[in-house]
Amino acid sequence: MSHTTQWTVRLQLVEEDDGTTRADVVLETGTTELTGHGAAHCHPADRNVPQIGDELAAGRAMNNLAQQLLNAAQRDIESRGASRPSTGRDAGWLT
């Protein structure tokens, strides 16, 4: 049985005057919405390169979103009677 779905991801990056770049990434699945947040701050002794701040903040926001998505999947798995793995590894359908 095949399954196809489309989710939408939006990423917003804002560089503030103090050298901080903030990122918000929003995942819309059609039934739920998750938002990941990340930030990067340029050290005063470093040259301000906006691309680096964007990459760090976006990566951190996506990492935060990924963890939220994995946590949601774990809750869904457990709600169907599966227990949390005792090995400390992430749950999966096939482990």
Predicted pLDDT of residue 95: 42
Domain count for the chain, please give it. 1
Tell me if 2 is assigned to some domain. Answer: no
Tell me if 93 is assigned to some domain. Answer: no
Residue 92: pLDDT over 60 = no
> Is the Cα torsion angle 50, 19, 14, 29 positive or negative in sign?
positive
Those residues with Cβ within 8 angstroms of residue 64's Cβ, 6 or more apart along the chain or in another chain: 25, 36, 37, 38
Q: What is the pLDDT of residues 30-58, one digit of tens each?
A: 999 999 999 999 888 988 889 999 999 99
CATH code of the domain covering residue 22: 3.30.160.240
Residue 87: pLDDT over 90 = no
Tell me if 3 is assigned to some domain. Answer: no
| Averaged confidence pLDDT in the chain | 89
Task: Note down the domain range covering 17.
Answer: 8-79
CA distance 22 to 78: 34
CA distance 26 to 34: 6
pTM, two decimals, is: 0.81
CA distance 73 to 52: 31
- In which region does residue 82 sit, left (phi positive, over 0), alpha (psi from -120 to 50) or beta (all else)? beta
